């Protein structure tokens, strides 16, 4: 388990809310005040009416450095890394790829298939200077598309569960949710996979309500309230759980998400280096995956 940073954790900006055990108010991301607790639903901002703060501009400039690194079909195929890793998850057709591309301010970073559920790999992206990356983004396959064969669904459920439970450098999870459908049973299942690590504060969680431009202001507020109620079930005194309203079309919430993800990386503890045996050296106990700290427990 990683150590919690000493500094207070800022929450997401005006279009966001945060959930923690207990009651209280919602604070903007720019505030350096003590961490806020779940309160009344925040009224989402309309577009980017307020000029981006210097911190938001820096966060967006950092997000714009995202570039493809590698892809893997199984957890053991992912490279080991000490860099903080942010996972992007969501149901098929929830707008995950579009949101990632909007955050990175590019069109083709994350591949949005014309057939939901077709992408069946974990794609990693590096961020920061080319010669000294400081973070990784992990784009996990969308889930819940009915046309995907049952065998593929079960395989990816297993891979995602293992990833969320044991990926050593996982610092945060960004879950994309279509607010017209709300947090579904499959979304809850994924939340339960990562709940133990979120509950201790080891992994942070941000639920992003995508496609906000398709909702009226009143429907947005209702969607926020419904999501808050679900996230409250996973809140603890140590958990860092945020909620943001987002639109790739008018860029509502873009600054909020960029600030939150950038802050997670900056606050992530430094992990101890991992010694990886050379290919001609046996693993410590001679077993497959013995040198991989991300290998799931037997």
Placement of tokens 């150590």 in the chain: 3
Residue 113 pLDDT: 58
Task: Single out the residue of 62, 49, 57 nearest to residue 30, CA to CA.
Answer: 57
Cβ atoms of 261 and 174 closer than 8 Å: yes
Mean pLDDT (the chain) is 78
Predicted confidence band of residue 212 (pLDDT cuts 50, 70, 90): very high
Share of the chain above pLDDT 70, in %: 70
The per-residue pLDDT for 2 is 42
Inform me whether the pLDDT recorded for 7 exceeds 80: no
Q: Give the angle 260-92-148 at the CA atoms, nearest 5°.
A: 145
Which band of pLDDT confidence, cut at 50, 70 and 90, is reported for residue 121? Answer: confident
Q: Which residue has the higher pLDDT, 158 or 111?
A: 158
Among 44-53, 86-95, 132-141, 276-285, the minimum mean pLDDT is found in 276-285
**Lowest mean per-residue pLDDT among 28-42, 58-72, 195-209, 271-285:** 28-42
pLDDT of residue 111: 72
């Amino acid at each position: 388990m990683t150590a919690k940073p000493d500094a207070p954790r800022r929450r997401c900006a005006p279009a966001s809310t945060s959930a923690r055990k207990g009651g209280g108010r919602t604070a903007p991301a720019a505030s350096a005040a003590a961490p806020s607790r779940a309160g009344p639903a925040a009224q989402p901002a309309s577009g980017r009416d307020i000029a981006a703060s210097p911190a938001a501009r820096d966060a967006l400039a950092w997000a714009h450095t995202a570039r493809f690194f590698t892809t893997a079909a199984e957890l053991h195929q992912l490279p080991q890394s000490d860099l903080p890793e942010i996972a992007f998850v969501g149901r098929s057709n929830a707008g995950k790829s579009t949101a990632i591309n909007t955050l990175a301010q590019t069109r083709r970073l994350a591949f949005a298939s014309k057939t939901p559920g077709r992408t069946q790999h974990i794609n990693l992206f590096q961020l920061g200077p080319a010669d000294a990356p400081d973070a990784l983004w992990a784009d996990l396959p969308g889930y819940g598309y009915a046309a995907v064969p049952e065998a593929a669904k079960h395989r990816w459920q297993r891979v995602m569960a293992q990833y969320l439970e044991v990926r050593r450098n996982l610092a945060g999870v960004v879950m994309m949710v279509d607010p017209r459908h709300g947090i579904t049973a499959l979304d809850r299942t994924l939340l339960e996979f990562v709940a133990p690590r979120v509950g201790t504060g080891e992994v942070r969680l941000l639920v992003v309500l995508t496609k906000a431009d398709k909702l009226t202001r009143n429907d947005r507020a209702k969607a926020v309230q419904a999501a808050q109620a679900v996230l409250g079930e996973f809140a603890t005194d140590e958990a860092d759980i945020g909620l943001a309203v987002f639109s790739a079309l008018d860029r509502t919430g873009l600054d909020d998400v960029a600030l939150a993800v950038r802050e997670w990386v900056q606050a992530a503890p430094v992990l101890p280096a991992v010694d990886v045996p050379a290919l001609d050296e046996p693993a410590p106990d001679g077993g497959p995956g013995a040198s991989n700290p991300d290998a799931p427990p037997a």
